[in-house]
Amino acid sequence: MSDLYAVMGNPINHSKSPQIHSAFAEQTGQDLIYSAILVPLEKFSDEANSFFRSGFGLNVTVPFKEDAWQYADTYSSRALRAGAVNTLIKKEDGSIHADNTDGIGMVRDITVNNGCDIAGKRVLVLGAGGAVRGILEPVLEEKPLEVVVANRTVSKAQRLAEDFSDIGTIVGCGFDQIEGQFDLIINGTSASLSGELPPIPESVIHQNTICYDMMYGAEPTIFNQWAASHNAALTLDGLGMLVEQAAESFTTWRGVRPDSAPVISSMRNSLVPAKA
């Protein structure tokens, strides 16, 4: 019988995870079935208990990443830092181990897929929500010169910086307090979903700046449109991050790393631009 894996969320119909993991399984010859499960609000633990009676691993998406954190028995260091998880693994003793693969997925997309160094670079991260908390440890582990977290609510950015200050040089500030130019700018706000831009000065970009939006779409996000219009050297979106975080989960579950490149290409080709 095929091994069972799934992603849980609410809503879940939009999830690309079954498509991605099915492609990984075919590519690596793994006998597994990966499905998407719509979980009623307040019912995560019940649904997870039911799944793990026969299933081996779960991905978790909104709004259950904190519920999954509470559900787990043990944690990776990046899951502990993030306070939220997107990957659950059933161990041989039946206990549930939690991981957060979002940040390492983004870092692999930037460094491996696109050949861009983070080490020694000045990095600006926009936003201070859960998505940003999930990426900071992997980014700081790349040994950047400095990470500046900018957010509308200054105290939230400063608190986040304090939480990660033991593993690298990191400061928090308001959007209107950003100073100087940056080598890498990561948009971790949801502004692109609402068609808005974070209020940051155009002076943050220089001729070699890489701009990365954690969101993605068939068309360039509004953040990446803005970056390109101010002559950023490279604009990237979060589609590669989506596939790479899945590859990290798959590797943890199955002990084999899939080749993400053809899957990213296939996913990119399947995106359909909105009709005018």
pLDDT in tens, 242-266: 999 999 999 999 999 999 999 999 9
| Containing structural domain, residue 128 | 103-239
Judge if 131 and 207 occupy the same domain.
yes
- Band (276; pLDDT cuts 50, 70, 90): very low
Share of the chain above pLDDT 90, in %: 90
Tell me, yes or no, whether 234 and 110 share the same domain: yes
Please indicate whether residue 199 or residue 235 has the higher confidence score (pLDDT): 235
Phi, psi of 111 (to 5 degrees): -85, -45
Average pLDDT over residues 43-69: 96
What's the CA gap between 247 and 152, in Å, rounded?
A: 33
Q: Tell whether 127 and 209 lie within a shared domain.
A: yes
Identify whether 38 is part of a domain: yes
Four-point Cα dihedral 132, 218, 65, 84, nearest 10:
-20
Q: Which of 62, 81, 100 is the last residue in one of the domains?
A: 100
Residues 114 and 72 in one domain: no
**Residues 114, 234: one domain?**
yes
Are residues 136 and 30 located together in one domain of the fold? no
158 located within any domain: yes
Query: Is residue 188 within 8 Å of 132, Cβ to Cβ?
Result: yes
Residues 58 and 118 in one domain: no
> Mean pLDDT of all residues in the chain?
95
- Does residue 249 fall inside a structural domain? no
For residue 50, the 8-state DSSP code is H
Does residue 138 lie in a domain region? yes
Q: Same domain, yes or no, for 134 and 195?
A: yes
Boundary residue ending a domain (75, 100, 125): 100
Are 64 and 119 part of one and the same domain?
A: no
Is 112 part of a structural domain of the chain? yes
CA distance 11 to 9: 6
Report the residue count for the chain.
276
User: Domain count of the chain?
Assistant: 2
pLDDT tens digit sequence for 141-192: 999 999 999 999 999 999 999 999 999 999 999 999 999 999 999 999 988 7
Beta strands in the chain (DSSP E): 3-9, 32-38, 57-60, 74-75, 87-90, 96-99, 122-126, 146-151, 170-174, 182-187, 205-213, 234-236
Q: Nearest to residue 11, comparing CAs of 35, 34, 39? A: 39
Q: How confident is the model at residue 274 (pLDDT cuts 50, 70, 90)?
A: low
What are 98-128's pLDDT values in tens digits? 999 999 999 999 999 999 999 999 999 999 9
| 141 half-sphere exposure, CB direction, 13 A CA radius | 14
CB atoms within 10 A of CB 10: 15
Average pLDDT over residues 40-53: 97
Query: Could you tell me the CA-to-CA distances from 115 to 41, 133, 137 in Å, in that order?
Result: 41, 24, 20
Residue 250 in domain: no
> For residue 276, which amino acid is it?
A
Paired sense of beta strands 182-187 and 96-99, if any: unpaired
pLDDT given at position 192? 76
Q: Is residue 161 within 8 Å of residue 149, measured between CB atoms?
A: yes
Q: Active-site residues: which are they?
A: 65
Report how far residue 58's alpha carbon sits from residue 60's, in angstroms, rounded to the nearest whole number: 6
On whether both 208 and 157 belong to a single domain, the answer is yes
- Would you say residue 251 lies in a domain? no
Strands (E) across 165-265 are located at 170-174, 182-187, 205-213, 234-236
Please name the residue that has the structure tokens 């490149």: 261
Q: Indicate if the pLDDT at residue 273 is higher than 80.
A: no
Residues 64 and 107 in one domain: no
d(CA 129, CA 196): 17
Q: Is pTM, for the whole model, over 0.75?
A: yes
pLDDT digits (tens, 9 = 90+) for 16-37: 999 999 999 999 999 999 999 9
Looking at the fold, whether 80 and 198 belong to one and the same domain comes out as no
- Which phi and psi angles does 259 have, rounded to 5°? -85, 110
CATH number of residue 50's parent domain: 3.40.50.10860
